[in-house]
Structures are given as C-alpha cells and as structure tokens.
Amino acid sequence: MKIYDISIPISAAMHVYPGDPAVEVDRVLQMSAGDVANVSFLKFGTHTGTHIDAPVHFVDGAMAVDEIPLNLLIGKVRVVEVTSPVITAETLAEFDFTDDVRLIFKTRNSYLWREKSFVEDFVHLTGDAADRLVENGIKVVGIDYLSVEKYNFTTPDAHRSLLGAGTIIIEGLDLSEVEPGDYELICLPLKIEGGDGAPARVVLRA
C-alpha cells in the first residue's frame, strides 16, 4: 500500500489567496530559552493551504464544517488529469463519472506551488462545469490550487453551484507526485464549529 500526502505544509511563507489572512506561526515557549516545552501560536484563515469549503461558505444557513458526514470525505476517489487552462462542461464531456462520487482534478496547478508567490492564472472550473458535476452526482470535488473559481471572478458560479447542491470542495492540493487513477481518499478537516471552511490533512491510498 502506498500513501500519498497531497497536503500543503502550513508556514508563514506559504501561498495565501489574496485578501485572506496571512499565516503567522510564532514559538511562544521555547525549551532553548529555558521553558519546559516548545509551544507555538498559530494564526491563519479557515481557507489556508489545503482546506475544505463547507456549503455555508457561499450559502447562508447551509451545512458547516462540523456537520459534514465523514463518510463523504473518506472513500473511493478518482483522480483525473486535465491539460486545458479552464475546466468547462465541454472539458468534462470526455469523462464518464457514472460510478464516481468523489473527484479530484490534477492540472498544471500542482507545479504552481513551486513559485515564490500566489499565481493568478491558475486552472479553474466554470459554472457550467460545476453544474455538470452536480448533475452527475459528484459529492466531493478537489483541485490542486487555492480555489475552484476563477481569480477575480465577477460572480462565484462554480462555488454556488457545487456548495448549493451540498457538494464539498477540497482546495489547495498538491498532486505533482500522483498519477491519474482510482484511490482511497482520506480528508480530515479541523472540526471547527459552524466553520465555513477548515484546513485539512488529505492523503490518498493506492
């Protein structure tokens, strides 16, 4: 059995979506300074690094992070590779998702993590692509950068379509070492009461 950790490490130097809180990691107790233990203070947003979007992120009154059934976030997943710069309904026409509930898109985004700062021109989903996924019964959608939505969008059509249907979104994945195919997904977000999102440790098992 091979385990792929497809999570991004949280650090002060990591990419953050523009407008989101910066990441702070401060060591407040240090054994080297005479303290009995090492203890750190963390400060970051709910959509930092590898994270999930709960439906309440874009739909008031909808399901929050702590209400998501874990059986949605654990189980068979298909990783599909897309080479186009935008994922549209037409892009999805070549795939058959009949037997799938969970889907992760591998794109050129995975290599953007090597850049020094956030890259605006990342591969994203259009609203019609999101609609097509919902129509096909997909309940979990993952992508390998910080949003499924186009940067500087006019309206968040992809988010509203997916989250409005109760589909959970996983963003900020690193799939650079993962080949397309079927895996077991294990995605465990922080259990934040009423949370609109939460950082998560996400792994695939082959």
Query: Which sequence positions are flagged as catalytic?
Result: 57
In this structure, what are the phi and psi dihedrals at residue 137, rounded to the nearest 5 degrees?
80, 20
CA dihedral 188, 189, 192, 196 (to 10 degrees): -140
Structure tokens at 116: 């020094």
The alpha carbon of 71 is separated from its chain's Cα centroid by a whole number of angstroms, namely 17
- CA distance linking residue 72 with residue 62, whole number of Å: 16
- CA distance linking residue 171 with residue 140, whole number of Å: 11
Whole-angstrom Cα Rg for the chain: 17
| DSSP assigned state of 151 | T
- CA distance linking residue 192 with residue 198, whole number of Å: 7
